[in-house]
Amino acid sequence: MITPRFPKNESARLKAVKSYQLLDTLPEEDFDNITNLVSNLIDVPISLITLLDAERNFLKSHYGIPFNEAPRDTSFCGHAILSENDLFEIKDARLDPRFENNPLVKEHNAIFYAGAPLINSDGFPLGTLCIFDSKPRVLSNKQKKSLVILAKQVVQLFELRKNNLELREVREELKFQNNNLKNFAGHVSHDMKMPLANMIVTTDILKKKYGDRLDDKALQYLTNLKRSSFSLSEYISNLLDHYESDKTDNTVDSFYLNHLLEDLVDLLQINTNCHINFPEDDVEIICNRVALEQILLNLIGNSLKYNDKEHTIIDISCTIKDEFYNFSVTDNGVGIPEDKLETVFNLFSTVGNLDRNGNKGHGIGLSTVKNLVKSLGGTIMVTSKIGESTTFSFTVVKPEVFD
């Protein structure tokens, strides 16, 4: 018997084998289907998918035998991976000096062998797709071609499995980093709110206590400082709302929409010439009330802020179709440019319009709205005409859909 020698690039080859994370894994249907197919297609009792480890031949799939590994130094596959041909074939192992006194031949009657090396994209032979028979035989050209083609399919399955594992690792890493970012944003935002509140109060104290000693320019500086502090405080609040929007619980409430809208209008304390049209039918809604409140509060608030008309009109509708509540909020405001419609829900994406008070948006609110709509099982879209109107349409799935 001649022990198969190691390839010259054995260290790199072993690294490639281990990169697929297949060694010592359980049987998988995709691979077992191939060995089953090969055995029936070529009419042989044994068909294997093997991976050559440092000292053993691991059988990822083994049709016709009960064990899943064997010593590498007695393996036929150890010789097969050294072959420069697409197929390594031994018609009668009893007549080949490489397998004289080989226990596989003597004890397990492994007379015939054919193995197609599993070559990955980097050119490393990982193992084989191989067959055994207990009698001498010769494969037809069609059988040889089938075995080589199926070996390439095995490699494709290896690659697909490896890619899936890598994608899973990337996804887990992104999830981990995203959680870190959320925690960081939350801590920073909470830590900044108190100093900002102190700045706002301090500017009022300075104006009240020293206002008569300050000139107009100094007073304007204090006004600007207070306005900037409020703007930053609002930005931080919106950021916190965004990062907490995906934490919406599954609480389900039953309430009437118009009652909710009346509460929101009171909360907004609207001080502009505005008319808000509620739905004609006071629809009973069953969903997470807090989440829907936040969605409508943001959309109505935007309709108020980004409106250049003397008289603001906001139309709110709600209909029920199949398993969804269908909402829309339409205003007669400044509108959104067509080239911004696709990105308006992206975090930190802004249209560029200034609100009624001359402030620019932070690009957080609509991203938060999208997260909340998604948490309620729905989708959201926007249509707009510059200078005329904007309509946000969104759906909320009825709770029985989740049952």
Domain ranges of the chain: 10-169, 248-402
C-alpha of 279 from chain center: 37
Is 255:284 a contact under the CB 8 Å cutoff? yes
**Residue pLDDT tens, the chain, 403 long:** 899 999 999 999 999 999 999 999 999 999 999 999 999 999 999 999 999 999 999 999 999 999 899 999 999 999 999 998 999 999 999 999 999 889 999 888 999 999 999 999 999 999 999 999 999 999 999 999 999 999 999 999 999 999 999 998 888 888 877 776 666 666 666 666 667 777 888 888 888 888 888 888 888 888 888 877 776 776 666 666 655 655 556 778 899 999 999 988 887 777 778 999 999 999 999 998 888 988 998 899 899 988 989 899 999 999 998 899 999 999 999 999 998 888 889 877 777 666 666 666 667 788 889 989 998 999 999 999 999 999 999 999 988 644 4
Quick: pLDDT tens for 164-189. 999 988 888 888 777 766 666 666 66
pTM of the model: 0.54
The DSSP annotation for 176-240 comes to HHHHHHHHHHHHHHHHHHHHHHHHHHHHHHHHHHHGGGS-HHHHHHHHHHHHHHHHHHHHHHHHH
Q: What is the pLDDT of residue 402?
A: 42
Quick: pLDDT tens for 121-153. 999 999 999 999 999 999 999 999 999 999 999
Q: Name the class of domain 248-402.
A: alpha beta
The DSSP annotation for 367-395 comes to HHHHHHHHHTT--EEEEEETTTEEEEEEE
10-169 placed in CATH 3.30.450.40: yes
Q: What is the pLDDT of residue 164?
A: 92
Is 105:111 a contact under the CB 8 Å cutoff? yes
Q: What is the pLDDT of residue 401?
A: 44
Q: What is the pLDDT of residue 403?
A: 43
Q: What is the pLDDT of residue 190?
A: 64
Quick: pLDDT tens for 221-241. 888 888 777 767 766 666 666
